Amino acid sequence: MSRYISYLEEPISSAPLGVFRALFGAVMLFSIIRFAAYGWIEKMYVEPTFFFKYFGWEWVQPLGNYTYILFALCGVSALGVMLGFKYRISIVIFFLAFTYIELIDKTYYLNHYYLVTSLSFLMIWMPAERSFSLDSLRIKVSNLIPRWTIASIMLLIGIVYFYAGLAKLNTDWIIEAMPLKMWLPNKSHLPIIGSLLEEEWIIYAFSYGGLIYDLSIVFLLMCPRTRRFAFMMVVVFHIITWYLFPIGVFPWVMIASSTIFFSGKSHQKFIDYVYRTFSVKTESLNDGRYLFKWPLLTRWIVCGFLCFHIIFPFRHLMYPGELFWTEEGYRFSWRVMLMEKAGTAQFSLVDRDKEAKISVDNRDYLTPLQEKHMATQPDFILQYAHYLVEQYKRKGMVNPEVYVDSYVALNGRRSTRFINQEVNLAEIRDSWKHKDWILPFTGNIKGF
Amino acid sequence: MAGVMVILLLIACDKEGVQEEIPSIDRGALLESWADNIIIPRTQSYQASLEVLSEAVSDFMSETTTESLSELRNAWKESYRQWQRVSIFEIGKAEELNRRNFTNIYPTDIEAIAVNVDKIDIDLTLPSTFDEQGFPAIEYILYGLASEEELLSVLKSEDKKWINHLAILVDRLNTINEDVLIDWEQEYRDLFIANDGSSANASVDLLINDLVLYFEKFLRAGKVGIPAGVFSSTPLPQNAEAIYNDDFSRDLFLESLESVSDFFNGINESTGVDEMGIDNYLDKIDELNGNSLLSELINGILTSAADHAITLTQSFSNQVESDNEEMLKLYDLLQQGVIYFKTDMLQALNIAVDYVDADGD
């Protein structure tokens, strides 16, 4: 045990972490600017009247027009992270601001946003400003850092890829080539490769290629002999996904993150090159003195955080039913590109005293995107049902009951009824327990 | 995905080429078919009918007789029918001008109309005036203003101010659609066809979302669900379409349903020939997935809805008052249609509802 600990504490070059920090900050800055430029702040966080809260985080409130300030804070702190200027303060502010934004509405949950939150949390605890930063030019410190810092980032990236690969080990992906079989033929308008995308063997090649990539890429990145090839694959893979699918900045986050696997020497060469280009003078401080302290609390926080990431994605094993159907344990588990799901949910409120039944037009309360996500995810359906009850109480209905007539289609199967239409959702409380008011999946998916 | 190597390898192995059984998915060809076979001809027919309606109003103005009134009413009916065939296409100029809201919002605001008729200058371009114009407002003047016996004398009274107002309302319909048609004929057609991608801003996605919105909100809810009381605690027969005319709302509904079905199946508006449509696209996807055909389910439900609607009385408001159960049956059939359109079809066509990032659900 102590051998492992001393291995993890071994001082190594901080160059990979410095470059990683700079790239991470740059991608985040780009991501924030892009988000604002598309008008999404307004559309997602200012305009809607209702927000889907995460279970346990209901206290997070939308900020209306102050959301712009939060985004500005996020952008400025991302710049601070990128430049390594007042690093600790920058990364703490970035983590808090970014995470708060994500918690406002789970409609916009994306795995790579969760990755950003996780990475920025991890980075709070490590001295990522020791190399390639304005801070390191101002204050003289050793540019050696303990190995656990870089190793824990590698582990998190490794989990993302490997778990994404494990999640693809199911019959829909392997045998049916779903959902790629639904997605790729719809891309046949693309130049050059377009006409190939409706060929069955191409679709299977994409499926298997993706699976093998996800499962193996981290090991290829770890091994010095295959690293260059692996990084090339990372770039090619993510550029293809960027070209084919609307996945935003995810490819850039992953390409930037994968650079962490390169050696201190390679990174130092890159840093020296940049410094030379901008004529920055540095003194070598690599004098072997090890100046970074690793407080006990930090050990426990980082260790606990990584254990959480290893275990939490497997929580779906504790729920009965098909994961893709119920989505109990689906989020926060690196399940990407696995499903094509669509649904309709027609709610009605029933007033027993007056024997009245009123159907709801979801457009009165939700944006099209919110409606789309709500219709396929049970926790959204429940939360929205409760919101409707409040709305109709306000309109004068006494003790309204609420029912939903909902249908969902998953990975190319015909739509079937999703939620038990006999259950009064007003009486259901959300919890971590299995939602027995979801009707069983009629299809058959085997696998992990 | 990243199996570029795998792909290159497979391409290398597959020099023989592939044999195609089904025509491949060609979004550009689909868009061309929609524009040239359906949308532009329908917009032209609607425009032609509006011009006839304009003529009929001026004829009625110069000779206010029972005969010219009947001509005018027929012209109104024909235009209203043609309108049902273009209402789906709230895209491009039509969307920009808010064509649907300025053309067919009902129930119409008869109090506002009574005020408007005496105004010298009225601005009908404000969103607050949606329910003071269009076909429902014209209908009110032609059928609801006074009893059948008195109508002609009312219309003649006060320097024919009502006929003047009719002319203003018809003119407004004309102007809006003329702009839409000119845009389609001059610029928009090519832009529409060239925008053949697959994202929320691509033509296919925009128009399919338009179709779903139209079917769910304007056809299912507007024409049937709302008057039948599905969205309220009591039935609202006064909110049906064409309430001042006792025999027309069922025809309008059937026309609207047929316009959806013809669009879905790619029926050429001019020749009646079944060309490239959403159905062919879905069939290709179903073939790939080894599924039974969704297009058959959709056509089945559209046919059932039409077959049931035929058995209802010609006036939907009367139907709601006399036997609402039958009206609710029609609503249920349409709701089943919504499920097919909104879940199965949107999934198969991989339609994006909005331009945002995703990580594959």
pLDDT score at A199: 86
Clarify whether residues A90 and A145 are in a common domain.
yes
Residue B316: pLDDT over 60:
yes
Clarify whether residues A238 and A375 are in a common domain.
no
pLDDT score at A287: 56
Instruction: List chain B domain ranges.
Output: 25-195, 197-361
What are A6-31's pLDDT values in tens digits?
888 888 999 999 999 999 999 999 99
Query: Which residues make beta-bridge pairs with A416?
Result: A408
Q: Which residue has the tokens 């105004």?
A: B119
Q: What is the DSSP letter of B24?
A: P
In this structure, whether the domain defined by B197-361 belongs to CATH 1.20.1420.20 is answered with yes
Q: A203 is written with which tokens?
A: 């679709």
Clarify whether residues A46 and A182 are in a common domain.
yes
Q: What are the φ/ψ torsions at residue B80 (nearest 5 degrees)?
A: -65, -40
Measured distance CA(A251)–CA(A95) in Å, rounded? 20
- Chain B residues within an 8 Å CB radius of A358: 230-233
Cβ proximity of A341 and A375 under 8 Å: no
pLDDT score at B7: 44
- Chain A residues within an 8 Å CB radius of B233: 351, 354, 356, 358
Check B233 against A409: CB less than 8 A apart. Answer: no
Check B350 against A360: CB less than 8 A apart. Answer: no
Average pLDDT rounded to a whole number, residues A326-352: 94
Clarify whether residues A298 and A414 are in a common domain.
no
What percentage of chain A exceeds 90 in pLDDT?
80
pLDDT category of residue B330 using cuts at 50, 70 and 90 = very high
Q: B210 is written with which tokens?
A: 């338009």
Which of B18, B217, B239, B357 would best serve as a mutation to test chain A binding (most A beta carbons within 10 A)? B357
Measured distance CA(A185)–CA(B35) in Å, rounded? 22
pLDDT score at B200: 83
Q: A301 is written with which tokens?
A: 């926080």
Q: Min CA distance, A29 vs chain B (Å)?
A: 17
Residue A362: pLDDT over 70:
yes
**Cα-trace Rg, chain A:** 24
Clarify whether residues A351 and A296 are in a common domain.
no
Measured distance CA(A32)–CA(A28) in Å, rounded? 6
Clarify whether residues A267 and A350 are in a common domain.
no
Residue A291 belongs to some domain of the structure: yes
pLDDT score at B356: 77
Q: What mean pLDDT value characterizes chain B?
A: 90
Q: What are the φ/ψ torsions at residue A294 (nearest 5 degrees)?
A: -115, 90
User: Comparing B25-195 with B197-361, is the CATH topology the same?
Assistant: yes
The predicted model scores a pTM of 0.91
What are A227-264's pLDDT values in tens digits?
999 999 999 999 999 999 888 899 999 999 999 999 99
Contacts of B314 (CB under 8 A, 6+ apart): B246, B247, B248, B249, B250, B251
> Closest to B360 (Cβ–Cβ): which among A208, A338, A367?
A338
Count of structural domains, chain A: 2
pLDDT score at A290: 53
Measured distance CA(A333)–CA(A109) in Å, rounded? 12
- Chain B residues within an 8 Å CB radius of A186: 25, 198, 349-350
Contacts of A364 (CB under 8 A, 6+ apart): none
What are B113-128's pLDDT values in tens digits?
999 999 888 899 999 9
Q: Which residue has the tokens 């490239």?
A: B276
pLDDT score at B21: 45
End-to-end CA distance of chain B: 17
Closest CA in chain A for residue B345: A342
Cβ proximity of A292 and A146 under 8 Å: yes
Q: Min CA distance, B196 vs chain A (Å)?
A: 7
Measured distance CA(B358)–CA(B361) in Å, rounded? 7
Measured distance CA(B97)–CA(A315) in Å, rounded? 51
Residue B20: pLDDT over 70:
no
Contacts of A3 (CB under 8 A, 6+ apart): none
Clarify whether residues A299 and A187 are in a common domain.
yes
Residue A253 Rama label (left phi>0; alpha psi -120 to 50; beta): alpha
Q: Min CA distance, B91 vs chain A (Å)?
A: 17
Measured distance CA(A405)–CA(A350) in Å, rounded? 13
- Least Cα distance to B91 among B219, B215, B191, B198 occurs for B191
Clarify whether residues A94 and A240 are in a common domain.
yes
pLDDT score at B46: 97
Three-state SS string over chain A comes to CHHHHHHHHCEEECHHHHHHHHHHHHHHHHHHHHHHHCCHHHHHHHCCCCCCCCCCCCCCCCCHHHHHHHHHHHHHHHHHHHHCCCHHHHHHHHHHHHHHHHHHCHHHCCHHHHHHHHHHHHHHCCCCCCCCCHHHHHCCCCCEEEHHHHHHHHHHHHHHHHHHHHHCCEHHHHCCCCCHHHHHHHHCCCCCCHHHHHCHHHHHHHHHHHHHHHHHHHHHHHCCCCHHHHHHHHHHHHHHHHHHCCCCCHHHHHHHHHHHHCCHHHHHHHHHHHHHHCCCCCCCCCCCCCCCCCCHHHHHHHHHHHHHHHHHHHHHHHCCCCHHHHCCCCCCCCCCCCCCEEEEEEEEEEECCCCEEEECCHHHCCCHHHHHHHHHCHHHHHHHHHHHHHHHHHCCCCCCEEEEEEEEEECCCCCEECECCCCCHHHCCCCCCCCCCECCCCCCCCEC
Clarify whether residues A103 and A250 are in a common domain.
yes
User: Residue A198 CB: number of other CB atoms within 10 A?
Assistant: 22
pLDDT score at B173: 96
Report the CATH fold assignment for B25-195. Answer: A middle domain of Talin 1 (1.20.1420)
State the amino acid at position B93 in one-letter form: K
Clarify whether residues A279 and A355 are in a common domain.
no
- Chain A residues within an 8 Å CB radius of B340: 415
Q: At what angle do helices B4-13 and A200-222 cross, to 10 degrees?
A: 140
Residue B17: pLDDT over 50:
no
Clarify whether residues A70 and A140 are in a common domain.
yes
What are A41-96's pLDDT values in tens digits?
999 999 999 999 999 999 999 999 999 999 999 999 999 999 999 999 999 999 99
What are B221-276's pLDDT values in tens digits?
999 999 999 999 899 999 999 999 988 999 999 999 999 999 999 999 999 999 99
Q: A395 is written with which tokens?
A: 């309109």
pLDDT score at A281: 78
| Residue range(s) defining the domain that contains residue A162 | 2-313
Residue A439 belongs to some domain of the structure: no
Measured distance CA(B61)–CA(B348) in Å, rounded? 53
Q: What are the φ/ψ torsions at residue B270 (nearest 5 degrees)?
A: -85, -40
Measured distance CA(A54)–CA(A114) in Å, rounded? 13
How many interchain CB pairs under 8 A, A with B? 181
Clarify whether residues A253 and A400 are in a common domain.
no
Measured distance CA(A229)–CA(A213) in Å, rounded? 12
- Chain A residues within an 8 Å CB radius of B10: 201-202, 205
Residue B131: pLDDT over 80:
yes
Residue A330 belongs to some domain of the structure: no
> Closest to A208 (Cβ–Cβ): which among B6, B25, B350?
B6
> Closest to B2 (Cβ–Cβ): which among A237, A343, A408?
A237
